[in-house]
Amino acid sequence: MSRYKIILLAAVWLLFGALHTLILGQFFCLKISVLMVHALSRSAIFFGLTLLLAVVITYGNFDALTRLQKAINYSFLAILSAGIWILLGITADKIFLGTEISNILLKPTIIYIPVGIMLYIIIVQAIMIQNEKRQTLLELENFSVETAPKEEILERVAIKSNSKIHVIAVNDIFSISSEGDYVQIHTENAKFLKEQTMKYFEAHLPDNFIRIHRSCIVNTEKISRVELLEKQTYYLILKNSRRIKMSVGGYRLLRQKLAL
**Per-residue pLDDT reduced to its tens digit, 75-110:** 888 888 888 888 998 999 899 989 988 888 887 777
Backbone phi, psi, residue 122, to 5°: -60, -45
The answer for residues whose C-beta is within 8 angstroms of residue 61's C-beta and 6 or more apart is: none
Residues forming CATH 2.40.50.1020 domain(s) in the chain: 156-257
d(CA 38, CA 27) in angstroms, rounded, equals 14
Residues in the chain: 260
CA of residue 126 relative to chain centroid, distance: 12
Helices 109-142, 67-97: axis angle to 10 degrees equals 130
* CATH of 156-257 given 2.40.50.1020, 1.10.600.10, 3.40.50.1000, 3.40.1190.10: 2.40.50.1020
Q: How many CB atoms lie within 10 A of CB 182?
A: 14
Q: What is the mean pLDDT of the chain?
A: 83
Highest average pLDDT, of 22-26, 83-87, 229-233, comes from 83-87
Strand partners, 159: 166
Nearest to 154 by CA among 61, 217, 72, 67: 217
The whole-model pTM stands at 0.49
d(CA 40, CA 51) in angstroms, rounded, equals 17
